[in-house]
Structure 1
Amino acid sequence: MHHIALRLALSLSLIFSMLAHAEPARVAAAADLKFVLEELTQAFEKQGGEKPSVTYGSSGAITTQISNGAPFELFVSADEDYVTKLNAGGFTKDEGVLYATGHLVIVVPKQAALEVDSELKGLQAALKAGKLQRFAIANPEHAPYGRRAVEVLKHAGIWEQIQPKLVLGENVAQAAQFATSGSTDGGIVALSLVKSPQLMNSVKYAEIPESWHSPQRQRMVLLKHSGSNAKAFYDFLQQPAARQVFSRYGFVLPGE
């Protein structure tokens, strides 16, 4: 009887193991990757992979969730410092890999009065003339692109004046929605979001010089209990076909 129970337990264990293996990989990704990863998960599936389940959010909020036991298997962060922090805490398999460097843009709806330019002269003029009402950035408390936006506004010398006008997105994708929908006068967000087919034809934007902010170095990492589907997608994201997609969305890739 004991042997039958043991064999049954082992069989159930094997079945659960196979079911777990068949589940889509649980991926947590920074919000600047919303459009690029939608494209890449479809490409991965076309190649015969199991389409991952992707949850988007600010990298800081995702890091907190992982630290509190959220069952993600792969974290694609917008800031490598979060990956370093999780690795130091024992939550990851290793230090992960740098997969891209991101860029910031100032963006407004196509018909907006606010002029966009790389040095933010139009933004400075609108602020000085009292014509700027609301301006969107991601929340710098937990969104890396929000922190970079603050650095940019300080570099432009308008941080003190623009603070009362700021509307904070929970993450950079929400900030981009605020900046491009007309609910604000514009915003500073990730280039990867305005490069999407959904936004490209309905906005005006200008890239902000890299020298105006800290490097937006983006790192991804497999988490401690990741399975084979997550590993397969992680490897896929480093292949030439995936790198081409990242490049098309405005990212600079390692080795380029």
Structure 2
Amino acid sequence: MRRRLAFLAFAWVLLGTGAARGAEVSVAVAANFAGTMQKIAPAFEQATGHRAVVAIGSTGRFYAQIRNGAPFHVLLSADDETPARLEREGRAVPGTRFTYALGRLVLWSRQAGLVDGQGEVLRSGRIERLALADPRLAPYGAASVQVMERLGVLERLRPRLVQGESIGQAFQFVASGNVPVGFVALSQLRAGAAPAGGSHWVVPEALHEPLRQDAVVLEAGRDNPAAQALMRFLRSDEARAIIGAQGYAF
């Protein structure tokens, strides 16, 4: 299984300690959910005895990989359209799709005082470069574009945009200081990966389409007991407490 996933840019295996050995589920996880999945996976193994093999990336990239035969069992998408499309195309198991989280978008900078509480910095002319996830691949990137369109600043800011393949890469651009400000996921700030200090604006949900994140069992996982167990666990009170603490709603 791990050899077959070797072509992915970023994959890791989360192992528990003390749970009985069970089946293994290969999970494609949207980048915004990476930190949350790090907390869920060991809890899942402890509760079920099954193990999660997790790959992190952009939803659009995962869609292409799944269409090309990538052997994932479960997709935790950053949107609801991609799992629905895979189901329509016969690549996901009908009746397994559900919304596991509602994401929130944040404008964030490592620099204290740069981002104000109303997002007026987007209109100020002070932003030299602005990071976001590629809107063609990442739902959080598409939401970022919607925000700028609705605020009437997209064309002014377009020459300053720096695109990452995923929201994870956009976050790294800002966290490293290479880009002064960017659109990231609230969950990334809650996960503790952000440097201390800084400034941010939680974008009002009215400024973009809902970031409804759906999970679905893929055809490769149809008969996998660990895939079924993971879908049940994501609905459990234990998992929902972890997800909520990371800045998601339901």
Q: Is TM more than 0.5 here?
A: yes
Greater CA drift, 240-249 or 200-209:
200-209
Q: Distance in 1 between matches of 2:184 and 2:165?
A: 12
Q: Distance in 1 between matches of 2:115 and 2:86?
A: 41
Q: Distance in 2 between matches of 1:170 and 1:59?
A: 10
Q: Distance in 2 between matches of 1:204 and 1:115?
A: 5
* CA distance 1:235–1:157, change in 2 (3 Å): same
What is the aligned partner in structure 2 of residue 149 from structure 1? 144
The Cα shift of 1:45 comes to 2.0
After superposition, the C-alpha distances for 1:67-99 in whole angstroms (9 at most, x for unaligned) are: 111100000001010011000000111141111
Q: Distance in 2 between matches of 1:40 and 1:203?
A: 27
What is the aligned partner in structure 2 of residue 242 from structure 1? 239
What is the aligned partner in structure 1 of residue 10 from structure 2? none
Say if 1:193 and 1:199, in contact at 8 Å, map to a contact too: yes
TM norm structure 1: 0.84
What is the aligned partner in structure 1 of residue 166 from structure 2? 171
1:21-40 to 2 correspondence within 5 Å? 24-40=24-40
Q: Distance in 2 between matches of 1:199 and 1:43?
A: 24
Q: Please state whether the residue corresponding to 1:173 is helix, strand or coil.
A: helix
TM norm structure 2: 0.86
What is the aligned partner in structure 2 of residue 188 from structure 1? 183
CA RMSD of aligned residues (A): 1.6
The Cα shift of 1:178 comes to 0.9
What is the aligned partner in structure 2 of residue 251 from structure 1? 248
Q: Please state whether the residue corresponding to 2:70 is helix, strand or coil.
A: coil
* CA distance 1:113–1:206, change in 2 (3 Å): closer
Q: Distance in 2 between matches of 1:187 and 1:112?
A: 14
Higher Rg of the two aligned structures: 1
Give, as a single letter, the amino acid of the residue that structure 2 aligns with 1:235.
R
Q: Please state whether the residue corresponding to 1:47 is helix, strand or coil.
A: helix
What is the aligned partner in structure 1 of residue 3 from structure 2? none
Query: Which structure 1 residue ranges, 5 or more long, are not aligned?
Result: 1-20
1:103-182 to 2 correspondence within 5 Å? 103-109=104-110, 111-112=111-112, 114-117=114-117, 119-125=118-124, 127=125, 131-182=126-177
The Cα shift of 1:44 comes to 1.3
Q: Distance in 2 between matches of 1:52 and 1:230?
A: 9
1:219 to 207, 214, 220: 214
Q: Distance in 2 between matches of 1:93 and 1:200?
A: 40
The Cα shift of 1:189 comes to 1.4
Give, as a single letter, the amino acid of the residue that structure 2 aligns with 1:232.
A
What is the aligned partner in structure 1 of residue 5 from structure 2? none
The Cα shift of 1:197 comes to 1.8
What is the aligned partner in structure 2 of residue 7 from structure 1? none
The Cα shift of 1:116 comes to 2.9
Q: Distance in 1 between matches of 2:115 and 2:214?
A: 33
After superposition, the C-alpha distances for 1:20-59 in whole angstroms (9 at most, x for unaligned) are: x955211001000010000000111222422201101111
Give, as a single letter, the amino acid of the residue that structure 1 aligns with 2:70.
A
The structure whose residues are more often helix, as a share, is: 1
Q: Distance in 2 between matches of 1:200 and 1:237?
A: 29
What is the aligned partner in structure 1 of residue 72 from structure 2? 72
Q: Please state whether the residue corresponding to 2:51 is helix, strand or coil.
A: coil
